[in-house]
Amino acid sequence: MYIYKVINAESMSDEAYSACLPYLSEGRRERVYRLKLLLPKKLSAAGDLLARGLAADFIDVSKDSLLIKSDENGKPYIEGCPVHISISHSGSYALAAASDMPIGADIERIRAVKKKVAAHVLSDGELEYVLHDESLYNKRIIKLWTMKEAYGKMTGHGVFKKERFTALIKDNELVLNYDTCRFSFPAAPEGYVICVCEKQP
């Protein structure tokens, strides 16, 4: 079972952003400081804040006692905590998800994607799926991309490293349950897609 939250970082006050900074690990705080624009800074801080809050809800502790770090592949984890987390950003939104199983979550804004790009990143079956209905092309390719991103975050290997995920299509619908993991598309802000990939028990 997983829980998730999404927030519009543009609504985050400067005071709330500044209050998050002391609770970032040194490495994550340095990365935030290196960002030049305020919105990306707020997105990073908001994602961290959401993830700590969700993990705290899981184990009934104060979120202020939790510290998020990143492993050698950049996958976030909470030091000394059994809860698995995932963080994503797109546009002005930050997303976090938490579970008692390895998890990956991704949020993406629905936008136009050139067909030659689609042909480069999708399998033949996936490409046939997105081209089946021109009116659904943009949403379908973003859904597939979020699946690939979420899977890469769940494994910790990224999209194009080691275990590259290829979606199965049945009766022109995406298959969501696999031997090793399961996907879901929870409610998302208007114009966005959220995908969560959770390891099967």
Distance from first CA to last CA of the chain, Å, rounded? 10
Kindly state the average pLDDT of the residues 63-74. 90
Question: Strand 68-70 to strand 103-109: parallel, antiparallel, or no bridges (unpaired)?
Answer: unpaired
Complete DSSP assignment for 128-174: HHHHS-GGGHHHHHHHHHHHHHHHHHHHTS-SSSSS-----EETTEE
Kindly state the average pLDDT of the residues 90-116. 97
Domains defined for the chain, CATH in brackets:
2-100 (3.90.470.20), 106-199 (3.90.470.20)
Strand partners, 5: 96
Kindly state the average pLDDT of the residues 74-87. 93
Kindly state the average pLDDT of the residues 41-54. 96
**Model confidence at 90: pLDDT above 90:** yes
Q: How many CB atoms lie within 10 A of CB 29?
A: 17
